[in-house]
Amino acid sequence: MELNRRTVIAGAAAAGIAATTLGTGTAQAASGSRKPVREPFGKLADGTKVYRWSLENGGTRLKVLNWGGVVQGLEIPDRHGRYANVSLGFADIGDYVAKTPYFGALIGRYGNRIAQGRFTLDGRSYQLSVNDGVNSLHGGTQGFDKHIWDVEPFTRGSDVGLHLHYTSVDGEMGYPGALRATVTYTLTRHGDWRIDYEATTDRPTVVNLTNHTYWNLAGEGTGGIEGHELTIAASRYTPTDSGLIPTGELAPVAGTPFDFRHAKTIGRDIRAGHVQQVQAKGYDHNWVLDKGITARPEHIATLRDPRSGRTLKIATDQPGLQFYSGNFLDGTLVGTGGHTYRQGDALCLETQHFPDSPNHANFPSTVLRPGQTYRSTTIHTFGA
């Protein structure tokens, strides 16, 4: 019989002992939370210090950098209580600065792509930083992932976490308005990882914040994710052109490799030869969630690794989910465990508004105006 991770931890805590099968540090996991701990993680070229914060609660261990709000590591146990880091990352800050394909990063001002880096708002045209061919990707050449964030640790009841703050000045990467962003990472007593996004502006602008963690539930560096099972509660997706910009169509997933309404392995259809997969080199698309925008997070996706038994359930209030199957990992990056990352060694599940929304009137709006507050929540629940 497979044991639920929470059952193991809760049972050990009730008995007044550590759950020794869960590996090192499990006495703290069994008894409750651990106050966030800060340690040096190197320096930038200009001498700016980079720090890593370590948090633990409910059996989940999280490591976060003040550089880009990067999740440098996230460890959870398998069905036998054995821990593994299930997120891709680097062991030193130099690689994050020079090489990273957004490993674990906070993404802004606009997650995903904007066609030709252009949009029009209130009759005025804006030209953004272009960094993906002719398009703007994840906020441009110096997006939110490439800045130092102010970090404020907290403990609140049985929760522990970090408040991360960054102010993007008016005109940064071409975006109008000074945007004040706060992102809160929380580990709950159950080991859930919750992300709360909040932002305000002094001029009309567009905002689409997300997190770009790469997942491999078998453990980073252990090989491909083709055997992972994925479910997405979406009947439609947004097809793209050759530059991975949405065409504007909301296409049905039925009868296509994009149908994940029922659990299937990622590898089952990834080489089906569909024109959308060929031009994206796999999956790199936005799914139109059936629930739409909701007042509170609702469950929209489940990822499971049959080998380890680890599961990830995602709940969000956002209308879209970008599923990226790690198509551009090319074996040139060496991760935290000393292994090279190759194509398909991890996947991303980015909760967000749709790509290129400012240029599609039929997509949910991403406009934020003075006096309004952008808010979004995504919750990651782990099990085994």
- Which residues are part of the catalytic machinery? 212, 350
Written as one letter, the residue type at 177 is: G
d(CA 150, CA 167): 10
**Exposed, middle or buried: residue 77 (CB in 10 Å: 0-12, 13-18, 19+)?**
buried
Give the C-alpha separation, 111 to 129, whole Å. 13
Amino acid letter for position 368? L
Residue of 117, 146, 199 whose CA lies nearest to 366: 199
> And the tokens for 318?
């956002």
What tokens were used for 294? 């909701």
Q: Which residue from 68, 55, 238 is spatially nearest to 161, judged by alpha carbons? A: 55
> Which of 231, 189, 215 has the alpha carbon at shortest distance from 310?
215
Under 8 Å between Cβ of 93 and 34: no
Question: How far apart are alpha carbons 384 and 381 in whole angstroms?
Answer: 11
Picking from 44, 12, 40, 50, the residue whose alpha carbon sits closest to that of residue 28 is 12
Q: What DSSP element (H or E) covers 184?
A: strand 179-187
Strand (E) or helix (H) holding 12: helix 5-15
Beta-carbon contacts of residue 49 (< 8 Å; ≥ 6 apart): 40, 42, 43
- Angle 211-214-220 (CA atoms, 0-180°, nearest 5)? 145
Tokens in use for 70?
Answer: 């990067």
